[in-house]
Amino acid sequence: MDNKEWTISEVIDSFGINGHTWLMFVLLGLANIFDGYDFMIVNSTNSYLAASFGLIDYSTMTVNSAQMGSLTTWGLLGMVLGGAVGGAMSDRIGRKKMLIIAVIFYGLFTLPQAFSNSLGFFAVWRLIAGFGVGSCIPIVTTCFSETIPSQHRGVFVTFGMAFMVAGWVLAGLVSAPICTSPTSILGDFTGTEILLANGNTFYENWRLCYLIGALPIIYGIVLIFAMHETPHWYANSGQKEKAVEALAQIEKKHHNGQVTDRDPNLLVVPPKPANVGPNVLFSKKFIVATAAIWTCYFVGQFCVYGMNAWIPTWFQAMGYSAADSVNLQTWNNFAAILSNVSVGFVSDRIGRKKNLAASWIACVIAIILCSVFVQYDPTNANFILYVVLMLLFGFCLNYAITAVQPLMPESYPTAIRNTGVAWCQAFARFGGSGSSIVLGAFATAFTMENPALSNPDAVAAAAAAGKELAQTIPAWSTVVLTLIIPFALGFICTLLFVKETGGKTMDQLAAEASGDTGDTGTTLFAVMMVIVVLLAVLCIVLPLCPPDMFGGMPFSKTPMALPLMATGMLLPFLFFFIFAGPQAIKNRNA
């Protein structure tokens, strides 16, 4: 051992990809697969939940769009709270402890959802389980960033997202055969018959999907024995000796048991920010980085979660069965895995900013193609075409949102890294929470004549069931096309706020952060919290209020609904343009 000072990043970079890297890859990946399943299972089963919870008006065979959209919203709201609280806790108690708590938590509270008989009961447990889901995702991102060598960081961080989307696909693959089973799988527990809005009758086998969602309880116990704390967290929390021990454990696997003797007193740890609360994310030192990842991830979450909530409903309106509609959603999510796997390689090669900017352009092209070519198809003649379109759209959209992932941990120093990642994801989930409701409101506002009225088979089937087809249905081509607006905002924010961070060590990035170190960001943080409350009220609370509050009409059908919702969604962008834009220009000219 020499007397040269050293950093955690230098040592981890010197190890390269090793056995410990792959162990963390598997452990964190499985955590995100379970996490993704827990989130997506509600979107894969929402048609069946709507039937069980009385969300269908059988006189017109239509669903309550706002309430059905809220099935997704409750979990996302829990994820908002979990991300905000869990991120700060992870920076305080450690990555390992918080990940174990999160995994066991969302597995434990997914279990009661299987016994739900009403929207209210389901919403409560969905909200609570979401707390664990929201805590898990940012910890996985942070652990990858603190474990992987700098030159490969982008690939592994984005692979974390790929694992989560693999959970989405798994939810579709599991739910389709279970929910459409011609018999009750668990006897009386799933034996109640339900009638879907498309006229098909099934059993309540969807309950089994939520029993399966409780498996993370077992996996959390596995993590207690298999997971390792990151050396970066040990070092930053003042435990330099444990940081050295953690590095020694990694080196043993890399050098066949040989360990370098490192002096913990020579370990250089970047100085902590004077303030480590979430308000510091809005200080002059960090507000541009915050603007970059908050706006872009907000756009991605709005579009990904909004469309995933409505893809099955969209294709059922186009004449497809509930099972085939979920299958098309699954193809969409399968393409997301492919995009998540590839985005990291491209990001490490051409840079974070170019990669993200190009991805928004690709999203615009994909959404236009989907809007133009997806039409009413009762004979399923265009099924292969729609699979291709869902693959394209799933690839482009998830490529864009995943391209933001490497920027999150690279934007902040270790002391506030998981706070920064978690609060970014928590805020963006407000976009996801509101998106399913907002798009549902758009579906209510933009309607067209029901094409099934011209289909004799559909008319006859409805008549045989004693039902009458709805005269109008959502004009989904128009609804989908409105996503061009958030994609354009994502492109503009990428050009204005994103700073290139690829290929640099975590210590280099911490040293490069510029700005007034005396500014705490408290005032701007308070302003943003007011905007978050307004967004929640306009896009979530009001749409879910009883129609009696609006003269017997659902809020989504009132003339003021769409302007108010649009205002709520645009306020965060206006905030960052006003307060982060000048600082971004100043940093660029410095």
Mean pLDDT of 295-300: 92
**Per-residue pLDDT at 78 exceeds 70:** yes
Q: Tell me how far apart the alpha carbons of residues 125 and 130 are, in angstroms, rounded to a whole number.
A: 8
| CATH of residue 399 | 1.20.1250.20
**pLDDT > 70: what percent of the chain?**
95
Residue 516: predicted pLDDT: 52
Selected residue with higher pLDDT from 67 and 536: 536
Residue 65 lies in a domain: yes
Residue 360 has pLDDT above 90, yes or no: yes
φ, ψ of residue 374 in degrees (nearest 5): -85, 110
Q: Tokens standing for 241?
A: 């000796």
pLDDT number for residue 312: 83
C-beta of residue 279 within 8 angstroms of C-beta of residue 521: yes
* Selection from 404, 399, 400, 332 nearest residue 171 by Cα: 332
- Rounded average pLDDT over 545-571: 85
Task: Classify residue 578 as exposed, middle or buried by CB count within 10 Å of its CB (0-12, 13-18, 19+).
Answer: exposed
Residue 238 scores a pLDDT above 80:
yes
pLDDT of residue 448: 79
Band of pLDDT at residue 273, cut at 50, 70 and 90: low
Q: Residue 154 has what pLDDT?
A: 79
Radius of gyration in angstroms for the set of CA atoms belonging to the chain, rounded to a whole number: 24
Question: What three-state secondary structure class fits 447?
Answer: strand
Tell me, what's the pLDDT at 67?
Answer: 76
516/263: higher pLDDT? 263
Over residues 445-455, the mean pLDDT reads 80
pLDDT, one tens digit per residue, over 111-135 is 999 999 998 999 999 999 988 888 8
Strands 201-203 and 56-57: unpaired
If residue 195 lies in a helix (H) or strand (E), which one and from where to where? strand 193-195
Asked if residue 262 is part of any domain, the answer here is no
488-515 pLDDT tens trace: 999 999 999 998 887 777 667 766 665 5
- The CA distance from 28 to 164, in Å, is 10
CA distance 433 to 537: 12
Q: How many domains does the chain have?
A: 1
Domain of 575, in residue numbers: 8-228+275-585
User: What pLDDT is recorded for position 69?
Assistant: 67
Whether the per-residue pLDDT at 66 is higher than 70: the answer is no
Q: 57 pairs with which residues across the strands?
A: 62
* For the chain, percent of residues with pLDDT exceeding 90: 35
Nearest one of 450, 443, 451 to 478, comparing CA atoms: 443
Residue 235: inside a domain: no
* Secondary structure of 1-33 as H, E, C letters: CCCCCECHHHHHHHHCCCHHHHHHHHHHHHHHH
Residue 324 in domain? yes
Q: Are 421 and 87 in contact (CB under 8 A)?
A: yes
**133 close to 35: Cβ distance less than 8 angstroms:** yes
When pLDDT is cut at 50, 70 and 90, the band that residue 582 belongs to is very high
Mean pLDDT of 270-293: 84
Contact present, 271 and 12 (Cβ < 8 Å): no
Position 51 pLDDT exceeds 60: yes
Alpha-carbon distance 74 to 127, whole Å? 5
Calculate the average pLDDT of the chain: 86
Q: Check: CB of residue 355 under 8 Å from CB of residue 170.
A: no
pLDDT for 429: 76
pLDDT at residue 185, as a whole number: 96
For residue 426, pLDDT beyond 70: yes
For residue 254, what pLDDT band results from cuts at 50, 70 and 90?
low
The pLDDT of residue 177: 93
Of the pLDDT bands very low, low, confident and very high (cuts 50, 70, 90), residue 62 is confident
Q: Is residue 267 part of a domain?
A: no
Across 284-322, b (16+ Cβ under 10 Å) vs e yields bbbbbbbbbbbbbbbbbbbbbbbbbbbbbbbbbbbbbeb
- State pLDDT tens for residues 5-23: 898 888 988 888 888 889 9
pLDDT of residue 434: 75
At 244 the pLDDT is 92
Q: Between these two residues, 312 and 274, which has the higher pLDDT value?
A: 312
Please give the pLDDT value at position 4. Answer: 84
pLDDT at 555 over 90: no
Count of other CB atoms within 10 angstroms of residue 514: 15
Task: Tell me the pLDDT tens digit for each residue of 182-222.
Answer: 999 999 999 999 998 878 899 999 999 999 999 999 999 99
Q: pLDDT band at 333, cuts 50/70/90?
A: confident
Residue 254 lies in a domain: no
Sorting pLDDT into bands at 50, 70 and 90, what band is 517? low
* Contact status, residue 110 vs residue 163, Cβ threshold 8 Å: no
Per the model's pLDDT, the better-predicted residue between 352 and 422 turns out to be: 352
Residues comprising the chain, all counted: 590
- Comparing 64 with 314, the larger pLDDT belongs to 314
pLDDT value at residue 92: 86
Asked if the structure places residue 237 within a domain, the reply is no
**Residue 518, pLDDT score:** 67
Quick check: 291 pLDDT over 90?
yes
Residue 478 located in a structural domain: yes
**Predicted local confidence at residue 212, as pLDDT:** 96
